[in-house]
Amino acid sequence: MVFVVRVVLGALLVLSGLLKVGDREWPATARQFGAPAPVGRALPWVEIVVGVGVGAQLWPAAAVALFLLATFTILAARQLQRGNRVPCGCFGSLSRRPISGTTLVRNLVLCVMAVVALL
């Protein structure tokens, strides 16, 4: 079970990163979300590296994944609290819809998966 969770979570992180790398609008989306430009440029590559590590069963990568996912969840909650319906951008151009409560629920599920991946 833990093996499968790690592989799935790793694949989702790699996919997310790859879709952002190929998305010309990603840097603007990251800025709308409140990320400084250098973070927006680096994030897709960090997601890819962390995803590969999680999929390769490396527990430190799972810890970084949990940190990233918790950070994304907190930032999304803050945006929602302020009434900002910024585009998600979580999967590049495939996720242009504004963030919502569903975004938070999905991220919490991913956080639980990252906790399981730490086992």
pLDDT > 90? residue 35:
no
- The model's pLDDT over 11-31, given as tens digits with 9 standing for 90+, comes to 999 999 999 998 888 888 888
DSSP letters of 78-110?
Answer: HHHHTT---B--TTGGG--SBP-HHHHHHHHHH
- The model's pLDDT over 64-113, given as tens digits with 9 standing for 90+, comes to 999 999 999 999 999 999 998 888 888 888 878 899 999 999 999 999 99
Q: For residue 95, what pLDDT is reported?
A: 79
Check: CB of residue 48 under 8 Å from CB of residue 17.
Answer: yes
Assign residue 86 a region (left: φ > 0; alpha: ψ between -120 and 50; beta: otherwise).
Answer: beta
Q: For residue 93, what pLDDT is reported?
A: 80
Q: For residue 88, what pLDDT is reported?
A: 86
Mean pLDDT throughout 28-35? 86
Residue 86: name the closest of 24, 77, 94 by CA. 77
Question: Facing residues of 98 across strands?
Answer: 87
d(CA 66, CA 2): 15
Q: For residue 103, what pLDDT is reported?
A: 93
